[in-house]
Amino acid sequence: MDIFSKCGEDERVQLARAADAMPYYRAITSGQDPVVMLDGQEVVMLGSNNYLGLTSHPEVKEAAAEALARYGTGCAGSRLLNGTLDIHVDLEERLARFTQREAALTFSTGFQVNLGVLSCLLGRGDVAILDALDHASIIDGCRLGFGRSYKFRHNDMGDLEKKLEFARDHAMLIVVDGVFSMEGDVAPLPRIAELKRRFGARLMVDDAHGLGVFGEHGRGTPEHFGCEAGVDLVMGTFSKSLAAVGGFVAGPRDVIDYVRLHARAEIFSAAPPPASIGAARKALEIVEREPERRKQLWENTEYMKRELCALGFDTGDSASPVIPIVVGDDMKAYHTVMRLQEEGVFANPVVSPAVPEGRAMLRTSYMATHTRAHLDHALEALEKVGREVGLI
């Protein structure tokens, strides 16, 4: 048998090619703005995680350019050895203060944060208890550790309690997304923190899509729910609100120092490049000083949620700037996305196994920098295509 044989026989790839509906790896020829260039056409971007619109902010770009000019294009080594720059340390100190934690540690990507933290914390005899819809990086990080993992039904606190009761003789770490990246709903953190205390577990929140978006000061879903003290570790990324690439974990100093010296995804990876650190550092500053961006983002989010529901779309339980439109069939999701592109709108298809089979969806997401004209154009296209394909 040829190990490559499955590649040419993959049913999903064959069907998508036959239908001329491959809505992945579409090459954008402009920045991640509210309107982007795609195949020579202007399209309204409803598929970006650039929630606060900072990837094109002049100060953020200038900070990246300054770091590039001073430090060069890369660090030429891992953080553990020669790759730690003073701006890495400065950003970590700022992130710790921002999240109100003792210490923070940066990684080269958000995926690597979960991979590194979970794999090194979960030893033999330890148990991770995960929401069934947790991000793939959480699942993979737990798989790499030596502990066991149990999943509870999505946002089902009764099922979480059962899993905690079952594993209560072990050291337990509950890991949940603050905002679930496909469905756009949020974890009930106060109830999770209460159960965590009752069973003597620890709690880690992946707040990749909550940081900068939720909370009066943008500290994310723990701040939003008023339960920051009940969350032991907070994970965040730079690739959403912080306008760069990379990620971090923040928490007790002893834990961060342990991760610093044991997380293979950190100590065997090249350090985050200077331009990304410079950009993230400036973006964090803007998050703190310009709460009006968050206010505008939520105005746009609430407008779209209201209008999409009024048109008859199924948007699930979204409570964030990620608003799904449930389609059902995987191929219908592909077809709908390509039709929307023809109508001048960029959206993302989400199909099984990222979501349960039969619950394929369009993932739409919104920015503070979308104007009402952008959103109304998107609504017109969504209504037209939605009626064509039988979604409304």
Tokens of 98: 């921002």
Residue 213 to residue 365: CA distance in whole angstroms: 12
Concerning whether 240 is annotated as a catalytic residue, the answer is yes
Residue 248: other Cβ atoms inside 10 A: 25
Residue 130 to residue 90: CA distance in whole angstroms: 32
Residue 140 to residue 117: CA distance in whole angstroms: 11
Concerning whether 88 is annotated as a catalytic residue, the answer is no
Which residues, 6+ apart, have CB-to-CB distance to 289 below 8 Å? none
Distances (CA, A) of 180 to 9, 127, 150, 156, 234: 32, 22, 18, 14, 15
Question: Could you say which of 48, 149, 181, 318 is catalytic?
Answer: 181
User: 151: exposed, middle or buried (C-beta count within 10 Å: 0-12, 13-18, 19+)?
Assistant: middle
Cα-based torsion angle of the residue sequence 259, 260, 263, 265 in order, rounded to the nearest 10 degrees? 130
Q: DSSP for 27-90?
A: -B-S-SSSEEEETTEEEEE-S---TT-GGG-HHHHHHHHHHHHHH-S--SSBTTTT---HHHHH
Local structure of 3: helix, strand or coil: coil
Residue 107 to residue 111: CA distance in whole angstroms: 9
Question: Could you say which of 61, 224, 240, 282 is catalytic?
Answer: 240
Strand pairing class (233-237; 247-251): antiparallel
CA quadruple 280, 305, 324, 384: dihedral positive or negative?
negative
Question: Could you say which of 57, 209, 305, 374 is catalytic?
Answer: 209
Task: Name the nearest CA neighbour of 38 among 329, 255, 325, 348.
Answer: 348
Residue 163 to residue 168: CA distance in whole angstroms: 8
Strand ranges (E), the chain = 35-38, 41-45, 103-107, 127-131, 148-152, 172-177, 202-206, 233-237, 247-251, 322-328, 345-346, 348-350, 360-365
Concerning whether 262 is annotated as a catalytic residue, the answer is no
User: Position 273: which residue type?
Assistant: P
Task: Name the nearest CA neighbour of 79 among 118, 116, 120.
Answer: 116
Active-site annotation, residues: 181, 209, 240
